[in-house]
Amino acid sequence: MEGRLKTGIDVLDRKLDGGLPPGCIVAFTADPASQSELFLYELTAVRGTLYLSTQRSDQAIRHAIEHSPSEVGSPTVRRASSENPLEDARRLVQALPEGANLIIDPADVLEETAEDAYVDFLNHLKSRMLETKSIAILHCLKSQTEPDNRSRTYHAADAVFDLRTQVAGTDLENTLAIPKFRDGGQPTETIKLELTTEVAIDTSRDIA
């Protein structure tokens, strides 16, 4: 579809009719023990990216990206302070250049801040994405006890990507569901993924 921005993940771009609309906020949910970071790293290959870490050090993130088996870019990596993570995130979002990717990994730290402050941040984030024609990906880790503001993230997000990892017999299966996509053209079927050297369609269990 004309005007959409490619994610750089071919299988996903095909399912989304070319990619994501400029200004889109994506909530990407995944188990902490999954290969979801491979997905994030591959997103950096297609355009300039600000990678905002709220937990791991910027050095650890850079090392992981440099040693990723998939095709990656050279993102700007910043670490949000533990004292004022929301304030740091807002400042960095404000300085985001035109047509960029923003990855917040994970969003959980920001979701644990005060409700009013977090909602205000989400509104600011959306405004900046529209102004700069950029894309934001919020890495939302699954857990038995979700952060208090996770529902606000889902509500503010224009799209929700849900990565599901499970063991099927002797195989590890990864499927991506897209339960929410405001711009239309929502895929109605899950996407079976191989998360090894790159994000690709898993055809290992297909019957010829």
Query: Which has the closest alpha carbon to 188: 202, 176, 199?
Result: 176
Burial call 57-81: b when 16+ CB within 10 Å, e when fewer: eeeebeebbeebebebbebebbbbe
pLDDT tens column, 40-87: 999 999 999 999 999 999 999 999 999 999 999 999 999 999 899 999
CB-CB contact of 4 with 137 (8 Å): no
DSSP E strands, 123-168:
135-141, 159-168
CB-CB contact of 191 with 176 (8 Å): yes
Could you tell me the sign of the dihedral formed by the alpha carbons of 30, 36, 39, 44, in that order? positive
CA distance between the termini of the chain: 31
Query: DSSP state, 203?
Result: -
Distance, CA of 61 to CA of 123 (rounded, Å): 27
Query: DSSP state, 6?
Result: P
Q: What is the DSSP string of 46-102?
A: SS-EEEEESSS-HHHHHHHHHT-SS-----EEEE--SSSHHHHHHHHHHTPPTT-EE
**Residue-range domain boundaries for the chain:** 22-201
Q: Which residues contact residue 134 at a Cβ distance below 8 angstroms, ignoring those fewer than 6 apart?
A: 22, 23, 96, 98, 99, 100, 101, 102, 128
Mean pLDDT of each 10-residue bin along the chain, 208 residues long? 85 91 97 94 96 97 95 96 94 97 98 98 98 98 96 98 86 91 82 85 54
Q: Which pLDDT score, from 0 to 100, does residue 195 have? A: 87
Distance, CA of 7 to CA of 161 (rounded, Å): 13
Q: Which pLDDT score, from 0 to 100, does residue 207 have? A: 42
CB-CB contact of 132 with 96 (8 Å): yes
Q: Which pLDDT score, from 0 to 100, does residue 180 have? A: 95
Q: Which pLDDT score, from 0 to 100, does residue 136 have? A: 98
Residue reference for tokens 């355009």: 47
Homologous superfamily of 22-201: P-loop containing nucleotide triphosphate hydrolases (3.40.50.300)
